[in-house]
Structure 1
Amino acid sequence: MPRTDPDAPRWRRFLPATWSFRAAFAFALVFGCVLLGARAGELSPPPPPSTPPPVGAAEGVDEATQVAPDSPRASLRKFIDLCRAGNYAEAARYLDVPPRADGVALAQRLKAVLDRHLWLEPDALSPHALGDTQDNLGNGVEQIGTIPTRTGTQPVRLVRRVTPDGVRWLFSRATVVRIDEWYAQLEDRWLRDHLPPALLRPGPRELLWWQWLALPILALASWVVGAVLSFLLRAALRHLVLRTESTLDDALLAVARGPLTFAGALLAMAVALPWLKLYLPAEQFLDAVLRAGAFVAVFWLVLRGIDAVGGRLLEAPATRDNPAARSLVPLMGRIAKVTILIIGAIAVLSELGYPVASLIAGLGIGGVALALAAQKTVENLFGSVSIGIDRPLQVGDFVKIDLVLGTVESIGLRSTRIRTLDRTIVTIPNGKLADLQIESYTARDRMRLHCFLNLVRETTPAQLRAVLEGCERALREHPHIWPDDVVVRFVGLGPSSLDVEIMAWFQTQDFGEFRTMRQEALFSFLEVIASSGSSLAYPTQTVRLAKGAPERPQPGLS
């Protein structure tokens, strides 16, 4: 039986594990990336394919002022615009159509052939009325590319003709008569012959509208395939994971379900994309979306892994008994996740074509401003990290910090709260706390008893020795005494007493238990003093008056 993750959030255990829910999630995730990329294309369209610069174009001159209306560039641009608008009747006027041929159908088929094999950029053609006069094709002839066929390649050319509307560059007669042959070799010809014309028009990012409609269906199907691949992969890895004693690999495998399913869906979608017969810009666009999705899968897996590692660290014995470490682990996890999210967002936006250079520069400037504005906050944050790593105090410790004496109630991200003996709360910022001297009474392994016995002056040496021996014997007979260092010594003659110093250590860490032990020791000291015949001295002062001293007259009296 596979082991489950006991730290899984309660809400996740109640999610409907149905295919419909997963399919909806797939649509939102995968198709959302596609729409985000499409939006990116509006902001920064992809660069055109590499083409040679137009012959005869003057450098540093505005192109709009040098493109002649009867140039090859202007004619091709007009033909493409008319085809995009679905006005194939007008587009047919840019073809040298043979007699009794259907110019509208030929224009539509030529656009499909050119999009599939050439993907023309009008800016690659000459902007001059006479075209490129140095291409060795003769005056009035312009070649725009070649179409691959079963027997080789065939040229696509424009010729300069005089029409009722004036001089215009048209697709040559030799090119037009080959259109049907080229069109018959298209792999998606059946769809083009049976789909409504509206679905064959290009939409955003040069995806035809029927391809846009097919993408959600493809995303759902890819998610199903990804779920199957994820299940098979996790089943294979589970046999290896169950052989290990560590539970971390079990947790990592449990949280990897979603990212692995998403990665499998991306793989299935990459395999299925060629069936859509995409144009070159659309293919480049969806390739970028898939690469961005791969980044999403990787960073998603890393984020889930951070949660799994954090959960296992909180279950570790060293962390379970350390409140400071239990506070530090979630903090470090959140910092790591925010860092991963920022890096992942920049990587995904870069793949989708967004200008991330300005974003990174803005983040740098914003980071400097934030660091200046939140200097104290950052200082306290790093102070909390320092306290969590060094662990000079923990929640529940009885400590003395500067002049504050009390019990630590909480260690937060910004400050630490201490409950004083007067039951008040003292809040110390962590940045300042990290620089203060911290004395922890809870960290003591033994507690010291230190006191002085002030015996009366009338105590004889024999009685004093009896007191010393009796007090030391009473201490050493105590079951919790530290026997290596018991001090009972006669230390001096006080103004009104004989002073005996007593110092010993009890093996306990509980202050309440130490109070009881101290009380028992003090009772035993009183019994020893009483049995020896001595007693405790009272602070006294003797004033002696000399007899026969003459009285002095007081000033001012007569």
Structure 2
Amino acid sequence: MEQLITQLEAFSFLGNTGWQWSVALTLLIGTTLLIKLFKLVIIARLKKLAAKTVTDIDDIAVEIIDGIGKGFYTITSLYVAVKFLSVADVVGKAADLIFIVMLVFEVIKAITTVINFFARKYLDSEEGGGDGNKQNDALVNILRIVAKVFLWLIGLTVILSYLGIDITSIVASLGIGGLAVALAVQNILSDIFSSFSIYLDKPFEIGDFVVLGKDSGTVEKIGLKSTRLRALSGEELVISNKELTAARIQNYKRMKKRRVAFMLGVTYETSHKLLKAFPRIVKEEVKAVAETQWYNCYFKNYGQSSLDYEVIFFVKSGDFEKYMKIIEKVNLAIFKRAEKEGISFAYPTRTIHLDK
């Protein structure tokens, strides 16, 4: 054995003895075998243990470890072997650079996995579905992209710093350039940040009917720069997100119930008995219609050609189409009952007296 070691030390290749090459090769093979053992045995057992637990934290840890690529393991094995050899400075720095690049890549990938995990948890915790969840998906995807860009910028900064490049001047230049760009596109950026506010605060969602000043319509799309409404007359309204966040919005889709108030006028020829019974008649007909909540009916005033009653009730729905159909049912029911009771509704009339 000593003779073999002596022969290996006597042999030289590329500035390293045969003994050094033997140790480096042993380290390469040993590291590779340990990694294989780690992948096949330890990670497999960790997966089984994680499957038995209730918490998801261990699952994400196993996912991160299992997601480490074969390239990183190969580079790590070669790096350990190369560090034992006497190599040129260029080769040593190249090995260090390759290892750091792979390490940064794996760290960024691990952090991205954690971000995706919490994003999924957030979306799963959101109740309901449909268009509201589509908004959440869009927002989460945007935040994922922003986070990935930010992480890669940090990773690039680490790599450049290792190469000895002064990143202070680069960061300063980017800051000045970024300020110039921000001033040039401040309106666009304002709309984008407003879209984040809409996504997070949710003053309205896709499918809601909203009123903004003189404009109204159903929300069809919420974009990064603008929101699109479909007006009742059919045309598409495109409104900037900045304008939306600054405006007062009436969201009719979120109404739990709608108040209905209207006037009914009966003729002056109506008897006192029927005038007194009319509020009860209206109440009975309104309450007979499904999804209504009765409030009251008052003999309000004497009109020029009618005795006026004010009728007030609520429709137990925020849906506009259902609201209109219920009002129609109530109106038809009141008219039919009035006709049956012999009550005549008044209309504008004028009596002219002629003196002969």
- Asked if TM exceeds 0.5, the reply is yes
Find the aligned partners of 1:319 and 1:256 in 2 and give their Cα distance: 34
Q: Is the 8 A contact 2:139 2:199 kept in 1?
A: yes
1:511 equivalent in alignment to 2:332: no
Amino acid paired to 1:333:
R
Find the aligned partners of 1:530 and 1:221 in 2 and give their Cα distance: 100
Equivalent residue for 2:305?
496
TM-score (norm. length: structure 1): 0.55
Q: Is the 8 A contact 1:226 1:263 kept in 2?
A: no
SS in 2 for 1:392: coil
Q: What's the offset of the Cα at 1:257?
A: 3.4
TM-score (norm. length: structure 2): 0.83
Equivalent residue for 2:277?
466
Find the aligned partners of 2:29 and 2:193 in 1 and give their Cα distance: 46
Find the partner of 2:244 among 430, 433, 448: 433
Q: What's the offset of the Cα at 1:395?
A: 0.4
1:302 equivalent in alignment to 2:111: yes
Find the aligned partners of 1:366 and 1:227 in 2 and give their Cα distance: 48
Find the aligned partners of 1:368 and 1:223 in 2 and give their Cα distance: 49
Find the aligned partners of 1:221 and 1:254 in 2 and give their Cα distance: 25
SS in 1 for 2:347: coil
Equivalent residue for 2:194?
383
1:516-527, aligned counterparts within 5 Å?
Answer: 516-527=325-336
SS in 2 for 1:458: coil
1:318-337, aligned counterparts within 5 Å?
Answer: 318=127, 320-321=129-130, 322=132, 323-337=134-148
Find the aligned partners of 2:343 and 2:306 in 1 and give their Cα distance: 11
1:190 equivalent in alignment to 2:11: yes
1:421 equivalent in alignment to 2:232: yes
Q: 1:494 to 1:188 in 2, by over 3 A?
A: farther
Q: What's the offset of the Cα at 1:481?
A: 2.4
Find the partner of 1:344 among 135, 146, 155: 155
Amino acid paired to 2:344:
S
Higher fraction of helix: 2
Find the partner of 2:81 among 272, 285, 303: 272
Q: 1:375 to 1:455 in 2, by over 3 A?
A: same
Q: Is the 8 A contact 1:384 1:412 kept in 2?
A: yes
SS in 2 for 1:434: helix
Q: 1:252 to 1:363 in 2, by over 3 A?
A: farther
Q: What's the offset of the Cα at 1:334?
A: 1.5
Equivalent residue for 1:406?
217
CA distances 1:148-174 after superposition (whole Å, capped 9, x unpaired): xxxxxxxxxxxxxxxxxxxxxxxxxxx
Find the aligned partners of 1:417 and 1:530 in 2 and give their Cα distance: 48
Q: Is the 8 A contact 2:289 2:329 kept in 1?
A: no
Q: 1:311 to 1:450 in 2, by over 3 A?
A: same
CA distances 1:464-493 after superposition (whole Å, capped 9, x unpaired): 2222101112223334223xx512112112
Q: Is the 8 A contact 1:289 1:352 kept in 2?
A: no
Amino acid paired to 2:232:
L
1:477 equivalent in alignment to 2:298: no
Find the aligned partners of 1:304 and 1:439 in 2 and give their Cα distance: 40
**Where does structure 1 lack aligned partners over 5 or more consecutive residues?**
1-183, 193-199, 202-214, 548-558
Find the partner of 1:363 among 174, 181, 184: 174
Q: Is the 8 A contact 1:227 1:261 kept in 2?
A: no
CA distances 1:42-64 after superposition (whole Å, capped 9, x unpaired): xxxxxxxxxxxxxxxxxxxxxxx
Find the aligned partners of 1:329 and 1:254 in 2 and give their Cα distance: 21
Deviates more, 1:291-300 or 1:417-426: 291-300
Q: 1:376 to 1:230 in 2, by over 3 A?
A: farther
Amino acid paired to 1:367:
G
Q: Is the 8 A contact 1:418 1:426 kept in 2?
A: yes
1:291 equivalent in alignment to 2:96: no
Deviates more, 1:392-401 or 1:229-238: 229-238
CA distances 1:322-377 after superposition (whole Å, capped 9, x unpaired): 24323211122222122112112111222233332222122211210121111111
Amino acid paired to 2:187:
K
Find the aligned partners of 1:268 and 1:544 in 2 and give their Cα distance: 115
CA distances 1:382-428 after superposition (whole Å, capped 9, x unpaired): 00000011101000111112211111001111111000011110011
Amino acid paired to 1:538:
Y
Find the aligned partners of 1:404 and 1:253 in 2 and give their Cα distance: 53
Equivalent residue for 2:52?
243
Equivalent residue for 2:208?
397
Q: 1:435 to 1:526 in 2, by over 3 A?
A: same
Q: Is the 8 A contact 1:407 1:419 kept in 2?
A: yes
Find the aligned partners of 1:252 and 1:279 in 2 and give their Cα distance: 39
Find the aligned partners of 2:6 and 2:96 in 1 and give their Cα distance: 25
CA distances 1:239-259 after superposition (whole Å, capped 9, x unpaired): 342133456764664465343
Find the aligned partners of 2:273 and 2:120 in 1 and give their Cα distance: 68
CA distances 1:29-85 after superposition (whole Å, capped 9, x unpaired): xxxxxxxxxxxxxxxxxxxxxxxxxxxxxxxxxxxxxxxxxxxxxxxxxxxxxxxxx
Identical-pair percentage:
26
Q: 1:310 to 1:536 in 2, by over 3 A?
A: same
**Where does structure 2 lack aligned partners over 5 or more consecutive residues?**
16-23
Find the aligned partners of 2:267 and 2:33 in 1 and give their Cα distance: 96
Amino acid paired to 1:303:
T
Amino acid paired to 2:269:
E
1:15-414, aligned counterparts within 5 Å?
Answer: 190-192=11-13, 200=14, 226=35, 229-245=38-54, 250=59, 253-254=62-63, 257-259=66-68, 261=70, 264-279=73-88, 282-283=91-92, 286-318=95-127, 320-321=129-130, 322=132, 323-414=134-225
Q: 1:531 to 1:230 in 2, by over 3 A?
A: same
Q: What's the offset of the Cα at 1:441?
A: 0.8
Query: How many correspondences in the alignment?
Result: 341
Q: Is the 8 A contact 2:218 2:230 kept in 1?
A: yes
